[in-house]
Amino acid sequence: MGPDVVRAWRPGVTGVAEVLHAAWHEHAYPSHTHDTWTVLIVDRGLIGYGLGGQEHAAEHTGVTVLPPGVVHDGRSVTAAGFRKRVLYLEPTVLDPALTGRAVDAPLVPDDTLRARFAGLDRALTVREDVAAEGLLALVTEGLAWHLSGRPTPPREPSAATTARRARDLLDADPARPVRLAEVAAELDVTVPHLVRAFTRELGLPPHRYLVGRRLDLARRRLLAGEPAADVAVATGFHDQAHLTRHFRRLLRTTPGRYQRGATPAPTAGLL
């Protein structure tokens, strides 16, 4: 049995106040409240907790959501303890009117929602902010849909038109900092609709499309002889390590090796 682990940080994504990863073997935390929505998944074990005077269990089969300002505690139910991943979301991310439903039924048993939460957590961990913004919109939309009784969704604009216009906006300057909320506002659509429409029409979500465009720019600048660190910043990546991670994923090599292995363009033979 390894040591207890707690890791927390504040990401640079609007709406997320804190990310917490914790693995505890023997721990019971006292009654307390948060000023944020607490959304979590359990990767191992089972967490028993009281919420607003009712007893519940956070299981690995779904997503648990605890509303701001409501008293809760927590304890391990299994001898091996538990491991969880938690996002503390700003109170404006979800409608306060959903508080009562969250108190009554905080566990949302939805495999797709859980997978999106896990993807959001990974994106926040590796600082893929555009990916995190899109997944956060889908996660909060899914939570609201469940907590509000699964209402019929409103009619949305054409997916083809939304995707085409969004692609044009991203193509105009792929290296600039991008927030999907600004793109969605420009198109007068919601972020979830933007992500769904783009993915449906182009076969990949906006953040992956944008990374591909930025890698195209980076490859051209590397072949022109620019230092990899300068190329990373100039093409919209956080730093050289961020560029290298995506470069490896695409080409199974590093920017430096790619640059050193470049060969001169062939010259045309004489007729």
Task: Report pTM.
Answer: 0.92
69 lies in the same domain as 165 = no
* Residue 227 belongs to domain spanning: 208-260
Backbone angles phi, psi at 265, to 5 degrees: -65, 140
Mean pLDDT for 69-85 is 93
Strand order in the sheet with 5-9: 5-9, 16-24, 82-89, 37-44, 63-66, 107-108
Is there a domain that residue 223 lies in?
Answer: yes
Domain boundary among 109, 143, 176: 109
Q: Is the pLDDT of residue 1 over 70?
A: no
Q: What is the pLDDT of residue 271?
A: 44
Q: What single DSSP character describes residue 94?
A: S
CATH at residue 89: 2.60.120.10
- Domain assignment present for residue 132? The answer is no
Rounded to an integer, what distance in angstroms lies between the CA atom of residue 194 and that of residue 187?
A: 9
Q: What is the CATH number of the domain that holds 218?
A: 1.10.10
Whether 254 is covered by a domain: the verdict is yes
User: Quick one: average pLDDT of 73-83?
Assistant: 91
Q: Based on the fold, state whether residues 218 and 178 are members of the same structural domain.
A: no
Name the helix (H) or strand (E) containing 108.
strand 107-108
Tens digit of pLDDT for each residue in 203-252?
Answer: 999 999 999 999 999 999 999 999 999 999 999 999 999 999 999 999 99
| Residues 48-79 as b or e (16 or more Cβ within 10 Å = b) | bbebbeeebebeeebbbbbbbebebebebeee
Instruction: Round to whole Å and give the CA distance between 106 and 88.
Output: 15
Q: Does 251 lie in the same domain as 189? A: no
**Would 167 be classed as within a structural domain?**
yes
- pLDDT at position 2 over 80: no
**pLDDT at residue 176, rounded to an integer:** 97
pLDDT band at 254 (very low <50, low <70, confident <90, very high): very high
- Whether 137 is covered by a domain: the verdict is no
Q: Do residues 36 and 70 both lie within one domain?
A: yes
21 & 40 share domain: yes
The total number of structural domains in the chain stands at 3
pLDDT (tens digit per residue) in 110-151: 999 999 999 999 999 999 999 999 999 999 999 999 999 888
Are 196 and 223 contained in the same domain?
no
Cα torsion 179, 62, 125, 84 to 10°: value is: 150
User: Is 175 in the same domain as 212?
Assistant: no
Rg, the chain, Cα only: 22
Average pLDDT over residues 62-84: 94
- Residue 162: half-sphere exposure toward Cβ, Cα within 13 Å: 24
Asked if 16 and 59 sit in the same domain, the reply is yes
In a domain, 28, yes or no: yes
Same domain, 22 and 49: yes
* 270: pLDDT strictly greater than 50: no
Mean pLDDT of the chain: 94
Are 103 and 168 in a shared domain?
Answer: no
pLDDT one-digit tens code per residue, 38-56: 999 999 999 999 998 899 9
Q: What is the pLDDT of residue 171?
A: 98
Residues 88, 67: Cα–Cα separation, whole Å = 10
Q: What is the 3-state secondary structure (H, E, C) of 37-73?
A: EEEEEEEECCEEEEECCEEEEECCCCEEEECCCCCEE
Residues 212 and 246 in one domain: yes
49 domain-assigned: yes
Residues 165 and 221 in one domain: no
The pLDDT tens digits for 166-176 are 999 999 999 99
